[in-house]
Amino acid sequence: MPLVDLAQLPKHVAIIMDGNGRWAQARGRLRTMGHREGSKSVRRVVRASRRLGVRALTLFAFSEQNWQRPEPEVVALMELLRDYLVTERRELIDNGVRLRAVGRIDKLPARVREVLDETIAETANLRGMTLTLALSYGGREEIVDAARTLASRVAAGELDPSAITEAALEREMPSISLGRVDLLIRTGGEQRISNFLLWGTAYAELYFTSKLWPEFAADDLYAAVEAYQRRERRFGQVLSDVGSLLSSSASGAWERQ
Protein backbone atom coordinates (compact mmCIF):
# COMPACT_ATOMS: atom_id res chain seq x y z
CA MET A 1 0.00 0.00 0.00
CA PRO A 2 1.62 3.27 -1.08
CA LEU A 3 1.94 5.96 1.57
CA VAL A 4 0.54 9.28 0.51
CA ASP A 5 1.02 12.54 2.38
CA LEU A 6 -2.46 14.01 2.29
CA ALA A 7 -1.12 17.46 3.13
CA GLN A 8 0.99 17.55 -0.03
CA LEU A 9 -1.32 16.30 -2.72
CA PRO A 10 -0.90 17.44 -6.31
CA LYS A 11 -3.75 19.88 -6.85
CA HIS A 12 -4.16 19.17 -10.53
CA VAL A 13 -3.65 15.65 -11.89
CA ALA A 14 -3.92 14.95 -15.61
CA ILE A 15 -4.00 11.51 -17.20
CA ILE A 16 -3.30 10.18 -20.68
CA MET A 17 -5.35 6.99 -20.61
CA ASP A 18 -3.46 4.77 -23.04
CA GLY A 19 -3.54 1.05 -23.74
CA ASN A 20 -7.21 0.18 -24.17
CA GLY A 21 -6.67 -1.29 -27.62
CA ARG A 22 -3.71 -3.42 -26.59
CA TRP A 23 -5.57 -4.65 -23.52
CA ALA A 24 -8.38 -5.89 -25.76
CA GLN A 25 -6.15 -7.30 -28.49
CA ALA A 26 -4.15 -9.30 -25.93
CA ARG A 27 -7.43 -11.00 -25.02
CA GLY A 28 -8.54 -11.56 -28.60
CA ARG A 29 -11.27 -8.99 -28.24
CA LEU A 30 -12.28 -5.94 -30.24
CA ARG A 31 -10.52 -2.67 -29.46
CA THR A 32 -13.88 -1.19 -28.52
CA MET A 33 -14.11 -3.72 -25.68
CA GLY A 34 -10.86 -2.23 -24.40
CA HIS A 35 -12.43 1.22 -24.37
CA ARG A 36 -15.46 -0.17 -22.52
CA GLU A 37 -13.17 -1.66 -19.90
CA GLY A 38 -11.29 1.64 -19.87
CA SER A 39 -14.43 3.52 -18.90
CA LYS A 40 -14.56 1.37 -15.74
CA SER A 41 -11.08 2.65 -14.92
CA VAL A 42 -12.35 6.20 -15.43
CA ARG A 43 -15.02 5.53 -12.81
CA ARG A 44 -12.48 4.03 -10.38
CA VAL A 45 -9.96 6.83 -10.81
CA VAL A 46 -12.53 9.62 -10.49
CA ARG A 47 -13.74 8.08 -7.23
CA ALA A 48 -10.24 7.54 -5.91
CA SER A 49 -9.16 11.09 -6.79
CA ARG A 50 -12.18 12.57 -5.08
CA ARG A 51 -11.66 10.53 -1.96
CA LEU A 52 -7.99 11.37 -1.87
CA GLY A 53 -8.72 15.09 -2.06
CA VAL A 54 -7.31 15.98 -5.48
CA ARG A 55 -8.86 19.32 -6.51
CA ALA A 56 -8.74 18.91 -10.28
CA LEU A 57 -8.55 15.85 -12.50
CA THR A 58 -8.22 16.22 -16.26
CA LEU A 59 -8.62 13.15 -18.47
CA PHE A 60 -7.59 12.88 -22.11
CA ALA A 61 -10.73 11.11 -23.30
CA PHE A 62 -10.60 11.92 -27.02
CA SER A 63 -7.93 13.78 -28.92
CA GLU A 64 -8.40 16.00 -31.94
CA GLN A 65 -6.33 13.38 -33.79
CA ASN A 66 -8.61 10.50 -32.65
CA TRP A 67 -11.17 11.53 -35.30
CA GLN A 68 -8.84 9.79 -37.78
CA ARG A 69 -9.52 6.38 -36.23
CA PRO A 70 -11.83 3.92 -38.02
CA GLU A 71 -15.40 5.16 -37.87
CA PRO A 72 -16.79 2.24 -35.82
CA GLU A 73 -14.19 2.96 -33.13
CA VAL A 74 -15.05 6.68 -33.09
CA VAL A 75 -18.77 5.85 -32.86
CA ALA A 76 -18.12 3.39 -30.03
CA LEU A 77 -16.05 5.95 -28.11
CA MET A 78 -18.80 8.54 -28.44
CA GLU A 79 -21.41 6.07 -27.19
CA LEU A 80 -19.21 5.13 -24.25
CA LEU A 81 -18.80 8.76 -23.36
CA ARG A 82 -22.55 9.26 -23.47
CA ASP A 83 -23.15 6.12 -21.38
CA TYR A 84 -20.60 7.30 -18.85
CA LEU A 85 -22.27 10.68 -18.47
CA VAL A 86 -25.75 9.19 -18.19
CA THR A 87 -24.80 6.54 -15.64
CA GLU A 88 -22.37 8.63 -13.57
CA ARG A 89 -24.24 11.91 -13.38
CA ARG A 90 -26.02 11.06 -10.13
CA GLU A 91 -22.83 9.93 -8.47
CA LEU A 92 -20.92 13.01 -9.61
CA ILE A 93 -23.62 15.23 -8.11
CA ASP A 94 -23.83 13.24 -4.85
CA ASN A 95 -20.11 13.57 -4.40
CA GLY A 96 -19.67 17.20 -5.27
CA VAL A 97 -17.85 16.68 -8.55
CA ARG A 98 -18.11 19.49 -11.06
CA LEU A 99 -17.80 18.41 -14.68
CA ARG A 100 -16.16 20.52 -17.37
CA ALA A 101 -15.00 19.85 -20.89
CA VAL A 102 -12.15 21.34 -22.90
CA GLY A 103 -11.51 20.95 -26.61
CA ARG A 104 -13.46 21.53 -29.79
CA ILE A 105 -16.71 20.38 -28.22
CA ASP A 106 -18.78 21.63 -31.16
CA LYS A 107 -17.38 18.74 -33.22
CA LEU A 108 -18.98 16.11 -30.96
CA PRO A 109 -22.24 14.49 -32.10
CA ALA A 110 -25.34 16.30 -30.83
CA ARG A 111 -26.48 13.34 -28.70
CA VAL A 112 -23.19 13.48 -26.77
CA ARG A 113 -23.14 17.27 -26.55
CA GLU A 114 -26.63 17.36 -25.10
CA VAL A 115 -25.82 15.05 -22.19
CA LEU A 116 -22.49 16.74 -21.71
CA ASP A 117 -24.07 20.20 -21.55
CA GLU A 118 -26.74 18.99 -19.14
CA THR A 119 -24.21 17.37 -16.82
CA ILE A 120 -21.97 20.43 -16.92
CA ALA A 121 -24.95 22.65 -16.04
CA GLU A 122 -26.18 20.37 -13.25
CA THR A 123 -22.77 20.16 -11.60
CA ALA A 124 -21.69 23.77 -12.18
CA ASN A 125 -21.91 24.82 -8.54
CA LEU A 126 -20.18 21.80 -7.03
CA ARG A 127 -16.72 22.32 -5.59
CA GLY A 128 -15.58 18.98 -4.17
CA MET A 129 -13.43 18.28 -7.21
CA THR A 130 -13.45 19.37 -10.83
CA LEU A 131 -13.36 16.64 -13.44
CA THR A 132 -12.38 17.97 -16.84
CA LEU A 133 -12.80 15.78 -19.89
CA ALA A 134 -10.54 16.73 -22.77
CA LEU A 135 -12.65 15.96 -25.83
CA SER A 136 -11.66 16.60 -29.40
CA TYR A 137 -8.74 18.24 -27.66
CA GLY A 138 -5.27 19.13 -28.85
CA GLY A 139 -2.69 21.13 -26.91
CA ARG A 140 -1.37 22.91 -29.99
CA GLU A 141 -4.90 23.66 -31.13
CA GLU A 142 -5.68 25.24 -27.75
CA ILE A 143 -2.63 27.49 -27.99
CA VAL A 144 -3.50 28.43 -31.58
CA ASP A 145 -7.08 29.29 -30.56
CA ALA A 146 -5.84 31.47 -27.71
CA ALA A 147 -3.34 33.22 -29.99
CA ARG A 148 -6.06 33.84 -32.56
CA THR A 149 -8.36 35.38 -29.95
CA LEU A 150 -5.63 37.77 -28.79
CA ALA A 151 -4.63 38.57 -32.38
CA SER A 152 -8.17 39.55 -33.26
CA ARG A 153 -8.24 41.90 -30.26
CA VAL A 154 -5.01 43.47 -31.45
CA ALA A 155 -6.46 43.82 -34.96
CA ALA A 156 -9.55 45.48 -33.50
CA GLY A 157 -7.36 47.97 -31.67
CA GLU A 158 -8.47 46.68 -28.25
CA LEU A 159 -5.16 45.23 -27.21
CA ASP A 160 -1.58 46.38 -27.52
CA PRO A 161 0.86 43.64 -28.63
CA SER A 162 2.95 44.39 -25.54
CA ALA A 163 -0.02 43.16 -23.47
CA ILE A 164 0.38 39.65 -24.90
CA THR A 165 1.92 37.98 -21.91
CA GLU A 166 1.90 34.44 -20.56
CA ALA A 167 -0.93 35.44 -18.24
CA ALA A 168 -2.94 36.93 -21.12
CA LEU A 169 -2.59 33.74 -23.18
CA GLU A 170 -3.47 31.58 -20.18
CA ARG A 171 -6.67 33.54 -19.66
CA GLU A 172 -7.77 32.32 -23.08
CA MET A 173 -6.94 28.68 -22.35
CA PRO A 174 -9.77 26.78 -20.66
CA SER A 175 -7.45 23.96 -19.63
CA ILE A 176 -5.41 26.38 -17.52
CA SER A 177 -8.28 27.98 -15.64
CA LEU A 178 -7.92 25.41 -12.86
CA GLY A 179 -4.20 25.92 -12.63
CA ARG A 180 -1.28 24.30 -14.31
CA VAL A 181 -0.82 20.55 -14.06
CA ASP A 182 1.15 19.26 -11.07
CA LEU A 183 1.25 15.59 -12.01
CA LEU A 184 0.82 14.08 -15.48
CA ILE A 185 0.28 10.33 -15.58
CA ARG A 186 0.48 8.27 -18.77
CA THR A 187 -0.45 4.61 -18.82
CA GLY A 188 0.35 2.05 -21.51
CA GLY A 189 4.15 2.23 -21.56
CA GLU A 190 4.71 5.08 -24.03
CA GLN A 191 6.64 8.06 -22.73
CA ARG A 192 5.38 11.08 -24.59
CA ILE A 193 2.85 13.89 -24.18
CA SER A 194 0.99 13.34 -27.47
CA ASN A 195 -0.33 16.89 -27.80
CA PHE A 196 -2.08 16.82 -24.43
CA LEU A 197 -1.94 19.87 -22.14
CA LEU A 198 1.21 21.29 -23.72
CA TRP A 199 1.17 24.63 -21.97
CA GLY A 200 -0.13 23.45 -18.62
CA THR A 201 2.37 20.60 -18.30
CA ALA A 202 5.44 22.80 -18.78
CA TYR A 203 6.57 22.17 -15.20
CA ALA A 204 4.47 19.10 -14.39
CA GLU A 205 6.03 16.03 -12.86
CA LEU A 206 5.70 13.22 -15.40
CA TYR A 207 4.82 9.69 -14.31
CA PHE A 208 4.81 6.83 -16.80
CA THR A 209 3.56 3.33 -16.11
CA SER A 210 3.47 0.27 -18.32
CA LYS A 211 0.06 -0.66 -16.89
CA LEU A 212 -2.58 -0.55 -19.59
CA TRP A 213 -5.43 1.84 -18.81
CA PRO A 214 -8.09 -0.87 -18.20
CA GLU A 215 -5.79 -2.30 -15.49
CA PHE A 216 -5.22 1.02 -13.78
CA ALA A 217 -6.80 1.04 -10.33
CA ALA A 218 -6.95 3.25 -7.25
CA ASP A 219 -3.68 1.84 -5.88
CA ASP A 220 -1.92 2.80 -9.11
CA LEU A 221 -3.12 6.37 -8.66
CA TYR A 222 -1.83 6.37 -5.09
CA ALA A 223 1.52 5.00 -6.32
CA ALA A 224 1.77 7.84 -8.85
CA VAL A 225 0.97 10.43 -6.18
CA GLU A 226 3.53 8.88 -3.85
CA ALA A 227 6.17 9.01 -6.60
CA TYR A 228 5.30 12.67 -7.18
CA GLN A 229 5.76 13.39 -3.49
CA ARG A 230 9.10 11.59 -3.38
CA ARG A 231 10.32 13.68 -6.29
CA GLU A 232 9.20 16.78 -4.50
CA ARG A 233 11.33 15.54 -1.60
CA ARG A 234 8.67 16.41 0.91
CA PHE A 235 9.89 14.13 3.63
CA GLY A 236 9.42 14.84 7.31
CA GLN A 237 5.68 15.27 6.99
CA VAL A 238 3.01 13.21 8.63
CA LEU A 239 2.51 10.25 6.37
CA SER A 240 -0.93 8.76 6.43
CA ASP A 241 -1.87 5.33 5.35
CA VAL A 242 -4.39 6.19 2.65
CA GLY A 243 -5.97 2.76 2.85
CA SER A 244 -6.93 3.02 6.50
CA LEU A 245 -7.96 6.63 6.07
CA LEU A 246 -10.24 5.82 3.19
CA SER A 247 -11.81 2.81 4.86
CA SER A 248 -12.53 4.84 8.00
CA SER A 249 -13.95 7.89 6.20
CA ALA A 250 -17.69 8.22 5.84
CA SER A 251 -17.82 9.33 2.26
CA GLY A 252 -21.21 8.27 1.06
CA ALA A 253 -21.38 6.63 -2.30
CA TRP A 254 -17.63 6.48 -2.82
CA GLU A 255 -16.80 2.86 -2.33
CA ARG A 256 -13.16 1.91 -2.24
CA GLN A 257 -12.23 0.18 -5.50
Nearer CB in complex with ligand FPP: 42/56: 42
Q: Is 137 in the site for ligand FPP (CB under 6 A)?
A: no
The values of phi and psi at residue 213, to 5°, are -55, -40
Q: Is 35 in the site for ligand FPP (CB under 6 A)?
A: yes
Strand pairing class (3-4; 240-241): antiparallel
* Rama region for 23: left / alpha / beta (φ>0; ψ in -120 to 50; rest): alpha
Nearer CB in complex with ligand FPP: 4/84: 84
Cα 166 to Cα 189: distance, rounded to the nearest angstrom: 32
Residue among 91, 71, 84, 73 at smallest CA distance from 24: 73
Q: Is 19 in the site for ligand FPP (CB under 6 A)?
A: yes
Burial 175-185 (b: 16+ CB within 10 A, else e): bbebebbbbbb
Nearer CB in complex with ligand FPP: 43/153: 43
Positions 81 through 120 that interact with ligand FPP (CB under 6 A): 81, 84
Considering CB under 6 A, how many residues would be counted as binding ligand FPP?
21
Q: What is the dihedral of CA 243, 248, 252, 257, to 10 degrees?
A: 20
Q: Could you tell me which stretch among 20-28, 106-114, 147-155, 224-232 binds ligand FPP (CB under 6 A)?
A: 20-28
CB of 170 to ligand FPP, least distance (A): 25
Residue numbers at the binding site for ligand FPP (CB under 6 A): 17-22, 31, 35, 38-39, 42, 59, 61, 66, 77, 80-81, 84, 133, 188, 213
